[in-house]
């Protein structure tokens, strides 16, 4: 029953930019940067730690395709790759999805720390401490 309400289990085919036996690749509906993509297993599964080795390989194959497409279209200077695994980690859709977020020089004043900023008070490990 959950899968019928899941937005990733009911994706319109027109949104799919790439797919293989176990996964699909789409652009995020609420992108944080141009080319922000999601790579999603076809099977309704909540956690990265619950997928099979075949699903893991399929996700990584599409992640490479999404990166190549973003590189060709938007020419980013870097990428963040992230998974919010569980509500405490910020997961709002209980279907695993991998974010590929293109990054551009100057999109943040100081991008050091990258994904470490999910907990802002602990992200900056490079500044001197008292």
- R_g (Cα) of the chain, nearest Å: 16
Is-catalytic flag, 97? yes
Residue 114's nearest CA partner among 32, 29, 24 is 32
> What one-character DSSP code corresponds to residue 49?
G
22, 36, 95, 97: the catalytic one is 97
Q: For Cα atoms 45, 94, 10, give the angle at the middle one, nearest 5 degrees.
A: 75
Q: Is 37 exposed, middle or buried (0-12, 13-18, 19+ CB in 10 A)?
A: buried
**Lookup: tokens for 69:** 């497409």
CA distance 33 to 74: 10
Active centre residues (catalytic): 97
């Amino acid at each position: 029953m959950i899968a019928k309400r899941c937005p990733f289990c009911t994706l319109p085919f027109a949104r799919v930019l790439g797919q293989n036996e176990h996964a699909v690749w789409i652009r995020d509906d609420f992108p944080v940067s141009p080319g922000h993509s999601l790579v999603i297993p076809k099977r309704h599964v909540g956690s990265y730690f619950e997928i099979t080795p075949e699903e893991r390989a399929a996700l990584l194959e599409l992640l490479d395709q999404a990166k190549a497409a973003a590189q060709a279209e938007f020419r980013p200077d870097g990428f963040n790759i992230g998974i919010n695994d569980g509500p405490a980690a910020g997961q709002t859709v209980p279907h695993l999805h991998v974010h590929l977020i293109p990054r551009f020089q100057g999109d943040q004043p100081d991008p050091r720390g990258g994904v470490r900023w999910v907990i802002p008070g602990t992200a900056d490990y490079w500044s001197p401490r008292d």
